Structures are given as structure tokens and as C-alpha cells.
Amino acid sequence: MEITLNINHSMHHVLIRPDEFLLDTLRNMGIKSVKKGCDTSSCGICAVSVDNKLVRSCAYYSIRAEGKEILTVEGIREEASLIAEFLTGEGVEQCGYCSPGLVMAIYTMKHELDEPDIESIKHYLAGNLCRCSGYEGQHRAIMKYLEVK
Amino acid sequence: MNFKKIVRPLSLDEAYHDVIGQEKGIVIGGGVFLRLQKRSADLGIDLSCIESLRMIQERENDFVIGSMVTLRELEKNIQLPRSVCQSVRQIGGVSLRNLVTIGGSIWGRYPFSDIITALLSLNSKLQFFNSEDMALSDFLAKDKLEKDILISITIPKAEYSAFRAYKLNYTDFSMVNLSVSSTDEIRIAVGARPGRALLLQDISNAHTAEELLADVEFGTDLRGSGIYRRKMAEVMLSDLLEEGLLWK
Ligand SMILES: Cc1cc2nc3c(=O)[nH]c(=O)nc-3n(C[C@H](O)[C@H](O)[C@H](O)COP(=O)(O)OP(=O)(O)OC[C@H]3O[C@@H](n4cnc5c(N)ncnc54)[C@H](O)[C@@H]3O)c2cc1C
Ligand code: FES
């Protein structure tokens, strides 16, 4: 079936299977920042923004995304580079596999948390798994990025 | 689960027609748990276009929650009884809670469920498209579910309500969970025993957490032994009861 998706500020007509998930649709279109981790909605690595909400694209039906605004790292290049600077500044970039999902989580977090503090940041990030960093560096980087005192 | 076809009805009538239609229709809530099942179906019925199922309505004595309301929406709604928000906070992660629905969480009757424990202690009622309204406790006790659509969940306003879970890590399934609410009477529910959540009976004669939980069966699985679960439940229940007294 053919659907029309608004991905990273432009409209795309895409052919999908009826039960296809957004993760596969995006990757088939060449949007390779979106990574497949567990593929069982457990790790958060595949997270993208749909209408400014963080969702696991491996469990989000592509047909549900019609009429919504989908953002991946490719669509927020400037902001993503800035976030990446903070992450590298704290030595958080290691294998890098979880980074796109983490960057999208930080991006939506910035828009969603009114008064971020360390507790709300940790709570927001819980379930976004990273097997290298041990999370402390991520928390420091995000605190600096969000200018949490 | 694979679907050959997914329909997206705009009304409940249309959706129910698909549920009982010739092709075997499977209702899709958040679709997150269905996704994990290794089977296929001819037809998936996606409820996400039915606006009325996405509402949270506050009335004088209760709240009516549409079955497609997500766990993240419940978490962020500070008007709801506190135990509801507490019970969903540690489920999966924000990106999961933005997808998972209250309807799918109830229909699944998952023994590990956090939200079912909270809703059970609040004496919640369920509204269906075809069946009569039913107390959540009766729904959980049913042997087999008929084909139907869960439309909404009615949650009474509570004088006091609180939820506790013991998890090995922040977003893990609960090893055991508990909820205490005071609506028309005090109700205590225990879940993830690891069996399905249940309401404690005859609580007026028991005075301590140990006495209250004496008849509850706790089982053993890879997360913990029955003995450990009981001990943890006793401690959590003492805390909740103490907290409840302070609220008065
Ligand atoms: C990685 C992961 C971790 C989790 N951790 C926890 C946890 O710690 N605690 C916890 O409590 N839960 C946990 N869950 C379960 C989760 O919270 C949901 O309960 C579960 O995903 C079902 O919700 P859903 O909206 O995805 O339902 P779906 O997958 O869409 O549906 C589940 C079942 O309900 C039926 N259904 C759905 N909506 C309706 C309706 N309105 N009417 C009739 N039938 C309907 C479907 O046909 C299906 O049989 C976890 C899930 C995952 C994937
Ligand atoms: S790949 Fe989607 S949550 Fe792990």
C-alpha cells in the first residue's frame, strides 16, 4: 500500500506492507541513523520523534504516522551536532550505536521537561539502554546541555 | 504478530463490525505486546482513529479513561488518583509509554501488570461495546474473553491511593507490586505474585501487613522466590499503610 509521510520536513510517498513498522520504513528509505537494537521494544535505541513525542519506531506502525511530523537525527542536524558536542565532551561516545536514539530522547526531553533536574532527566532516560557509558557521562552532558544548575 | 491487512475505523460501530466480521479481526491498542507474538492474522483493527477512545473525562465522583489513552498520558495527568500515575512511571521508558495503551494493558490481563494492581485497588469498572459494564475484578476472574472492544475504564476518585513495586532495576517487570486505595472502602491489591493481581479479602479483622497477606499465594520464578516476594510485600504494605494513616 502507498502512504504519504512527513519525514524531516518533507513529504514522501512510500510503499509499505500494511503491518510495517516505522523503523523498517525509515531504514528502507535510506534514513540509516535509526538503528535496530532489540527489535522487541525493550532498548529504546530505535527512538524517533513523532509529533514531538518520543516513540520506539520498532513498535510504531508506519500507517499510524500518516499526517504526523516524523523527525530523526537527519532532520535536526544543527541541534543534533550541538547535543553530540556535549556528549563527546563527557566522553560518552563509545560504540555509538545508541547515540541516534539518545540524541532524539534528549531533543524531545528538552521540549517536554519544563524544569529539568537530575531526577527528571534520569527518569526520562530510563529504558534508553547504553551498554558502554554507564550513564553517568550522559547525565553530566545533558545537565550541561540543558544548563541545569 | 503479522497482519495481512489493517483497517482503521473511525467509529466504534465500524470497529465492532470488523471485530466480529468474517475475517478474524484482532484489535490493536498500542500494538506493542501484539508485536511480540509469533503468529499471523488476516485482519488487524487499529483503534487509534477513534477520537472518543483517546479522552480522559473528569466527572464529579470519578474519571472516565478512554481505552486508547497512553500510559504516558496517565503518568502526566496529576488529577488522577496518585496510584495510577505511580504505577505506570517505571514501565519500559518514555518512548514505550507513549505507545502503550491502558486498554491493551487491561485486556491482556498480564500477571506482571503494574497498572492492573492500581486499578483493582481503586475498584475500577470497565465499559465494553457489546458486553455489560463489569468490575475489573470480575473481568480478571473470567475464564475466557469474548470478542469485544473495551471502550473505557471508570476510576472512582480516591481519598487516598498509593502504589509500590519492587523491581530489580528501574524499568524491569515488577517482582511484586501492591496498591492501597481508600474510595468507598479501603481496598488492597497485590500483583506480580507472579500470578495475576488479586484483591485482599476480609481485611477488617487483620491488623498487620503479615496478617493481611497471610492467605495470599506467592510463587517462585526467575525474578525471585515466593518467600522473598512475601517478605518484600509485607514491608511495602506496612509502608503504604503507615503512609495512608498519615494522610488522614
Ligand atoms: C518491553 C516491555 C516492557 C514492559 N514492562 C512492563 C512493566 O514493567 N509493567 C507493566 O505493567 N507492563 C509492562 N509492559 C506491558 C505494557 O505496559 C502493556 O501492558 C502491553 O504492551 C499491552 O499494551 P498495548 O497497548 O501495547 O496492547 P496491544 O499489544 O495492542 O494489545 C494487547 C491485547 O489486548 C487487545 N486489545 C488492545 N486494546 C483493546 C481494546 N480496546 N479492546 C479489546 N481488546 C484490546 C489486543 O487484541 C491484544 O490481545 C511492558 C511491555 C513491553 C513491550
Ligand atoms: S530496537 Fe526498538 S526498542 Fe530496541
CB contact under 8 A, A44 and B96: yes
Hey, what's the torsion of the CAs at B141, B142, B148, B149, to 10 degrees? 0
In this structure, the answer to whether residues A107 and A63 fall within a common structural domain is: no
Distance CA B80, CA B165 (A): 19
What is the per-residue pLDDT for B21?
86
Distance CA B67, CA B29 (A): 8
| CATH (domain of A46) | 3.10.20.30
In this structure, the answer to whether residues A89 and A70 fall within a common structural domain is: no
pLDDT digits (tens, 9 = 90+) for A103-139: 999 999 999 999 999 999 999 999 999 999 889 999 9
When the pLDDT of each residue in chain A is averaged and rounded to a whole number, the result is 96
In this structure, the answer to whether residues A7 and A66 fall within a common structural domain is: yes
Among A17, A49, A74, the domain-final residue is: A74
In this structure, the answer to whether residues A93 and A138 fall within a common structural domain is: yes
Q: Is the pLDDT of residue B224 over 60?
A: yes
**Which of A19, A61, A127 is closest, CB to CB, to B93?**
A127
ipTM: 0.97
CB atoms within 10 A of CB B202: 8
| CATH (domain of B214) | 3.30.390.50
CB atoms within 10 A of CB B28: 26
What is the per-residue pLDDT for B152?
98
When the pLDDT of each residue in chain B is averaged and rounded to a whole number, the result is 95
In this structure, the answer to whether residues B138 and B173 fall within a common structural domain is: no
If you measure CA to CA, which chain A residue comes closest to B31? Answer: A59
Among A74, A91, A118, the domain-final residue is: A74
Mean pLDDT of B51-77: 98
Q: Which residue has the cell 482503521?
A: B8
State the total domains in chain B.
3
Q: Is the pLDDT of residue B247 over 90?
A: no
What is the per-residue pLDDT for B199?
97
Q: Which residue has the cell 485497588?
A: B121
Could you tell me the distance, in angstroms and rounded to a whole number, from the CA of residue A47 to the centre of ligand 2? 7
Which structural domain, as residue segments, surrounds residue B98? 51-156
Q: For residue A81, with 0-12 CB atoms within 10 Å meaning exposed, 13-18 middle and 19 or more buried, which class applies?
A: exposed
Among A32, A52, A74, the domain-final residue is: A74
Residues with CB under 6 A from ligand 2: A 36-39, 41-46, 56, 58
In this structure, the answer to whether residues A70 and A82 fall within a common structural domain is: no
| Confidence band for A71, pLDDT divided at 50, 70 and 90 | very high
Q: Which residues pair with A61 in a beta bridge?
A: A21
State the total domains in chain A.
2
Write the CA distances from B191 to A55, B89, B109, B140, integer angstroms.
Answer: 27, 16, 11, 12
pLDDT digits (tens, 9 = 90+) for B137-152: 999 999 999 999 999 9
What is the per-residue pLDDT for B50?
98
DSSP class per residue in chain A: -EEEEEETTEEEEEE--TT-BHHHHHHHTT-TTS--SSSSS-S-TTEEEETTEEEEGGGSBGGGGTTSEEE-GGGGHHHHHHHHHHHHHTT--SS-TTHHHHHHHHHHHHHH-SS--HHHHHHHHTT---SSS-SHHHHHHHHHHTT--
Which structural domain, as residue segments, surrounds residue A6? 2-74
What is the per-residue pLDDT for A133?
87
Residue A92 near residue A106 (C-beta atoms within 8 A): no
In this structure, the answer to whether residues A109 and A94 fall within a common structural domain is: yes
In this structure, the answer to whether residues B112 and B185 fall within a common structural domain is: no
CA dihedral over B219, B225, B229, B235, signed as positive or negative = positive
Kindly state the cell numbers that stand for B179. Answer: 496498591
pTM, full prediction: 0.97
pLDDT digits (tens, 9 = 90+) for B154-209: 999 999 999 999 999 999 999 999 999 999 899 999 999 999 999 999 888 888 99
Ligand 2 atom 3: residue of nearest CA? A41
Write the CA distances from B227 to A131, B180, B216, integer angstroms.
Answer: 33, 22, 12
* Angstroms from A94 CA to nearest CA on chain B: 22
CB contact under 8 A, B35 and A59: yes
Question: Among B74, B96, B92, which Cα is nearest to B83's?
Answer: B74
Q: Is the pLDDT of residue B221 over 90?
A: yes
